[in-house]
Amino acid sequence: MPESDRDSVMEKAIQEFDEITRDSSKVQRETLKRILEENGETEYLQNLGLKGRTDIESYRACVPLVTHKDIAPYIQRIVDGDNSKILTGKPVTSISLSSGTTQGKPKYLLFNEELVLNTMEIYRLSYAFRNREFPLEKGRALQFIYGSKQLKTNGGLTLTTATTNVYLSSQFKSTLKSIQSQCTSPDEVIFCPDFLQSLYCHLLCGLLYKDQVQFISATFAHSLVVAFQSFEKDYLELINDVRTGVLSNKITNTIIRTAVSEILHPNPELADEIFKICKGLSNWYGVIQEIWPNCKYVYGIMTGTMEHYTRKLKHYAGTLPLVCSEYGSSEGWIGSVVDPKKPPESACFAIVPDIGFFEFIPLKNNDDDGNCEPVGLTEVQVGEEYEIIITTFAGLYRYRLGDILRVEGFYNSTPLVKFMCRKNLILTINIDKNTEKDLQLVIDEASKLLSAEKLDLLDYTSYGDVSSGPGHYVIFWELNSQAKDEVLQNCCDCMDRTFIDAGYMGSRKTGAIGPLELRVVEKGTFRKILYYYLSCGTSVGQFKTPRCVGACKIVLDILNEGVVERVFSRVYD
């Protein structure tokens, strides 16, 4: 597509978004009506007595709030081959797997053509806002994207991750070609079953097209950090491949080897250039902007637990902007970044009012079970926090996603929201209640002590150890270098002191909860956790380090096997 035509398409996408957000309340009513008209004959809605009604009031009166465990039996019937209209009026084309890193095991979710259309809509919109701020020239994109294993259910449906379902769709390829730069890597690299071989070839292809790369992206910031940590380790071998035109022997998959070899030719001048750049870097600072001089930004999900990785990513990116991508989940899409200039820690998402029907449970004056009347999209208040409820075109009705959002403002009449954390309590032993966000704040505070010693926290997780009384919190850390005993002790004390939940502090003072324990693991331990989840069918593009590992004994065993130092808090002694 000519650049002028592409720009016209992008501006049209923004204009259409402006139109649907001028009266988001009306659009929400119309969207719910369309969802219910398409799915009104399903067994699920029929049994709830909706009787064809499509208004919001009837919908709320008849349809209960649910979590995944409530609808899992219906999905299982579809997985097992029941082709009747159980949750959706339109056919289910495949089954998506969630990453499994939040709850300890993957969830089955429905995937259909409506989700593909929603995905393309939000891709176009997000790209339009990015392109307005960071105009791209004709070129390529270095995208660290990965397909995952594709299995068959008992009923004959494809079973794979949500991201792979998207990558497999013809609409995905045609949309990217019409709006974005071409990927540096051939499809064979994306769908290679071996993550390490795929990653190596992504890096190599990115080097071959180094002067054409316009932006660099991955689904999550974590994937980008992993990619450039691998580049640090493999850069000499990659340069040798560029120099000789012969692919490394470590690439044993014949399909990916053939595809990459077709674009790999001896280029000693390029190899010398890359080698000179790498040798001139100070601790790999700014490697992205130095090797890819025409790159305009680095792009991916950088909110929530991904914020932890942005510090290292900023180091690799140098002065290049880090741009947050769309807000969604395996269940469906929610919002788009409309101000891509904002740094990741300030990123907000404008909820797209025609992509689903949204409700919000206010957390203010709410009890632990969420027993508070939900409000509509346009009824939220700036500065307040809410648990989001979604209704989608893919068989989810008043589904509690488990995400906590804070309303930062409005784009026309649709809310601008900031992702805060997952709702689930991840650390609780007695009467204490600490969420993912609480843990992140504690980690951030202790990380300041590490920074003063020029140490980096590479990754972290936690669990509540109740194997002996009293139970206590355990925090696992992986560091870039060895820390002095005194530094670790001060960090351990800092974390114990920074948990400000009244239940936790009270339990610590009375001895109902024991001293917090910091366990430092050897380098590479968290990479082993990644490999474990990949072996279970999770895609690298979906992987998020679990921030609590109590639900998975195998992951806990991996961590404990890697422990090299243990420190207990002296606070409250």
What are the backbone dihedrals phi and psi of residue 481, each rounded to the nearest 5 degrees, phi first? -155, 165
Residues 6+ positions from 112 with CB-CB distance below 8 Å: 88, 90, 91, 92, 93, 393, 394
Question: First vs last Cα of the chain: how many Å apart?
Answer: 68
pLDDT reading at 468 higher than 80: no
514-573 per-position pLDDT tens digit: 899 999 999 989 888 888 887 776 766 667 788 888 767 888 889 999 999 999 999 877
Residues 6+ positions from 12 with CB-CB distance below 8 Å: none
Residue 26 has a pLDDT of 95
173-191 per-position pLDDT tens digit: 666 555 556 888 988 898 8
pLDDT reading at 371 higher than 70: no
Please report which confidence band the pLDDT of residue 315 belongs to, taking 50, 70 and 90 as the band edges: very high
Q: How far is CA 165 from CA 123, 171, 198, 312, 417, in A?
A: 15, 11, 18, 30, 27
Residue 325 has a pLDDT of 86
Please report which confidence band the pLDDT of residue 369 belongs to, taking 50, 70 and 90 as the band edges: low
- Residue percentage of the chain with pLDDT more than 90: 46
Residues 6+ positions from 468 with CB-CB distance below 8 Å: none
In a 3-state reduction of DSSP, which class is residue 555? helix
Mean pLDDT across the stretch 162-168?
69
State the maximum Cα–Cα separation within the chain, in Å, rounded to a whole number: 71
Strand order in the sheet with 357-362: 327-329, 332-336, 349-351, 414-422, 399-411, 385-391, 357-362, 375-376
| CB 151 within 8 Å of CB 160 | yes
Q: Which amino acid does the sequence have at 102?
A: T
**Interatomic CA distance for residues 324 and 69, integer angstroms:** 31
Q: Which amino acid does the sequence have at 447?
A: S
Please report which confidence band the pLDDT of residue 28 belongs to, taking 50, 70 and 90 as the band edges: very high
> Angle of helix 436-452 relative to helix 485-498, nearest 10 degrees?
150
Segments making up each domain of the chain, as ranges: 3-113+327-422, 137-152+179-320, 425-568
pTM score > 0.95 for this model?
no
Residue 103 has a pLDDT of 52
Please report which confidence band the pLDDT of residue 102 belongs to, taking 50, 70 and 90 as the band edges: low
424-437 per-position pLDDT tens digit: 767 877 777 788 88
Q: 158-161 and 94-97: which strand pairing?
A: parallel
Mean pLDDT across the stretch 354-375?
80
pLDDT reading at 1 higher than 50: no
392-428 per-position pLDDT tens digit: 998 999 999 888 899 999 999 999 999 887 777 678 7
Q: What angle do CA 318, 133, 115 make, to 5 degrees?
A: 100
**Count of alpha carbons within 13 Å of 476, Cβ hemisphere only?**
30
Please report which confidence band the pLDDT of residue 153 belongs to, taking 50, 70 and 90 as the band edges: confident
